[in-house]
Amino acid sequence: MTGADGAGLWRTESRDGVVVARFGDPPMSYLTGPALAELAVLVEEWTAPEVRAVVIAGSVPGRFITHFSVEEILAGQPTMAARGPELNYRVHATYGALGELGKPVICALNGDTMGAGLELALACDIRIGERGDYRYGLPEVRLGLIPGGSGTQRLVRLIGRGPALELILGARLLTPAEALEWGIVSRLADDAVAAAEGLARRLAAMPGTALAAAKRIVHQAADLPLETALRMEADASFRAKVSPQSTAAMRRYVEIASEDRRAYLDEWDDDQPFV
């Protein structure tokens, strides 16, 4: 599958099962209602079986998604009481759908990533930061707001209540290196998009049923009691074992000489270094 679409605020390219979606709304790349609506349509399109991995990044130099448009929030205040938290629900639904995709979603934080931008990154499965003069964080409290696009909940689940409260209440922004120390990104790269694409291609080559099962069980069982989570894991493991893709992958493995199997499992694409 190859192709590109640049009709709106999101530009997508797809090749060999990997979709790269870049957001850009110069000069500041603020998220807006129209941009959110475009993303919702894209997430639905990514449920197609030919899509095996997704990379989300920014296209404006120095910016991923700076934050949600404060101008749009102010403009909507006159009708906000009647509409209630409708916008928040739309953000929750769109970001939540990323977690429900049966394929990995990798976020390349290749620029300033704050507010709704960081919340989008937190909704992705893997986050790769980029070395540079960028800032990541949830600054909403400084503006009299709170993170309302799932940030209060996703950040707590990722780094713990105490650290999350320090960042949220203090509206503290982090450099990419600090975000790595706090556990918000899993690693840094000189070119986050290239690193994310390299990882996405590696994951796209994995058996899709196993990827989907592993992602689902990690997300769904993370906050459950251990005994319940282990039952879910056992069921997912059983279903993966009996899938045709699993059978084919295991047969390829047992055809490899025993002394060569560790090298096979340790393979990495050196042309697309992960760090």
140 is an active site residue: yes
Mapped onto helix, strand or coil, the DSSP state of residue 192 is helix
- Count CB atoms within 10 A of the CB of residue 10: 19
* Torsion angles phi and psi, residue 48, rounded to 5: -60, 140
* Range list of H helices, the chain: 33-45, 70-83, 86-100, 116-123, 151-159, 161-169, 176-182, 192-204, 208-221, 226-241, 244-254, 261-265
**For residue 123, which of 146, 101, 145 has the smallest C-alpha distance?**
101
Alpha-carbon gap, residue 190 to 187, rounded angstroms: 11
Q: Which of 13, 38, 100, 140 is catalytic?
A: 140
Active-site annotation holds for 50: no
Among 176, 96, 106, 170, CA closest to 136: 176
Instruction: Name the nearest CA neighbour of 157 among 101, 218, 112.
Output: 218
Q: What are phi and psi of 53, to 5 degrees?
A: -160, 155
Active-site annotation holder among 119, 181, 233, 259: 119
Residues 6+ apart with CB under 8 A from 6: none
Strands 10-15 and 53-58: unpaired
- What is the distance between the alpha carbons of residues 86 and 183, in angstroms, rounded to a whole number? 31
Helix (H, G, I), strand (E, B) or coil at 62: strand
Using DSSP's 3-state secondary structure scheme, residue 128 falls into: strand
Q: Which residues are catalytic?
A: 119, 140
